[in-house]
Structure 1
């Protein structure tokens, strides 16, 4: 079983394919290879063959929306893109096992350092033989098949993408920062106040840079609160009674109550009481 992730803009698609190890050579004979080395037409044909050979190969996908990814990366505590990817892979493996697939070996195209990722998966699935490697989609036929399934699904999702923002854009390129078509898409779809349409991950470093340079600057109130926290933090001495300086009275003074901290529900959502509208 092999998870495979593809990139931006748009949703992230994680896919797995599972088959007997003895069928790896059969997959090669069917033309299965790293999806990046194949044309769209070739990927579609191989995907059809994978579906036709359901007697020995199966596949499953998880499509993660751009909004979910950005929300995860901006939430508190932050969930990194690597962790989102890892969680998706783990869920797909568990889903296959729950469906009755007799999994014995797992081959994974790495997201992050392969050694740490492999150790993480091995701890979660101690009875399985786990192999995590760079460029696994070009090393193991089943990973190649998973990458094809993921790429075909993502291409189809993007072709039928409906913009709720009512914009008309037919081509957004490959999704890589160096692609001129992708750059034009980002600039042409940018709103100076609301940013990009929902197809774009706001947490993508390329998108973040454009937002900072081209959009109306925003100052969040909770950012100011974070900076002022040091001044608002009460001294531990306030919680102990002490004599007033120069006083002969042994009666201790009562320290003022500490400033009440706002609940995180309000600070995380930048909510504050108002008296007028």
Structure 2
């Protein structure tokens, strides 16, 4: 479920509560960004990227950056790039560019760890790719709903590039889509989206407040590491914070293989009713070999009165 927050200044953006499944933030639009505006008639350019796809901790954030096509020359000179290749200080300076350039706007959709895991563990699973696709399409639709004339959209690759590009083009035929790997380092508008996604996710992790309240030992500084399963600090956090009955708190993606293994090793054994062999329904209506009567007859006190 996706809800929409009021427009916010990206510099003053605070993390939303940890139990929000999916939340969309929008920056304010320029005062003259109307459907009849000349810049809007010429069209807008959009870029979409994500942060937090692989970590076992925290949310996954999808972000879209967009601006009028006439702003593109200015955009090229700001210095946007793949956020992973930049220092935190540079990322913060580029984040500030959204406040300093009113024609540069953004939206971000945050998928909580609970939403990610619950979807992946459904009876009919919704894998991470599918959840990412829904987030991407939601960001595009949100921009259109705001009255923006999106002409071009560049997206960092999600699976087979051409297949995903064709799906987006079919869903939004008025937009020219380009989907390719490393789009955040090729197209500045995708680099801008990469900054929004990365900084937003980092703020979630740094300021995470568990809705269940502090855990035992939280008086000490909690070291979670980068959140990636290969990080020794993250591995230590997972080992030390497991509850033998309840497992983990909300920041952990419990559908990740890393967590499943730790739960099997360190948590109390749990047997689900569905895992126990149950007699079939037909067995209640079939005659018992020893007594010659169906089990349902005995339970209901039914007996034969002979032939009519």
TM bucket normalised to smaller: 0.7 to 0.9
Q: Determine the C-alpha separation between the residues in 2 that align with 1:57 and 1:138.
A: 18
The 3-state SS of whatever aligns with 2:179 is: strand
2:223 paired residue number: 171
Report the Cα offset of residue 23 of structure 1.
4.0
Does 2:48 correspond to 1:3? yes
Worse-matched range after superposition: 59-68 or 73-82: 73-82
Residue in structure 2 matched with residue 245 of structure 1 by the alignment: none
Unmatched tracts of structure 1, length 5 or more: 239-255, 259-277
Residues 227-258 of structure 1: CA distance to partner in whole angstroms, max 9, x if unpaired?
x6xx73769xx9xxxxxxxxxxxxxxxxx8x9
The structure 2 residue matched to 1:219, chosen from 264, 271, 280, is: 271
SS in 2 for 1:219: coil
Count of residue pairs the alignment pairs up: 234
Quote the Cα distance in structure 1 between the aligned partners of 2:261 and 2:92. Answer: 35
Q: Which residue of 1 aligns with 2:97?
A: 49
Moved over 6 A (4+): none
Q: Tell me the CA shift for residue 27 of structure 1.
A: 2.7
Tell me if the contact between 1:61 and 1:150 (Cα under 8 Å) persists in the aligned partners: yes
Name 1:208's counterpart in structure 2: 260
Name stretches of at least 5 consecutive residues in structure 2 with no aligned partner: 1-45, 286-293, 297-308
In structure 1, the partner of 2:184 is 137
CA–CA distance in 2 between the matches of 1:65 and 1:173? Answer: 18
Equivalent pair of 1:69/1:81 in contact (CA under 8 Å) = yes
Q: Which deviates further from its counterpart, 89-98 or 28-37?
A: 28-37
CA deviation profile, 1:125-182 (whole Å, cap 9, x unmatched): 1221111111211111111100101111111122221122413253311121221111
The residue number in structure 2 matching 1:34 is 82
Other-structure match for 1:74? 121
Q: Distance in 2 between matches of 1:192 and 1:214?
A: 7
RMSD: 2.3
Match of 1:12 in 2: 60
Residue 165 of structure 1 contacts residue 197 of structure 1 at CA under 8 Å; is this kept in 2?
A: no
Per-residue deviation, 1:196: 1.4
Q: Which residue is 1:246 aligned to?
A: none
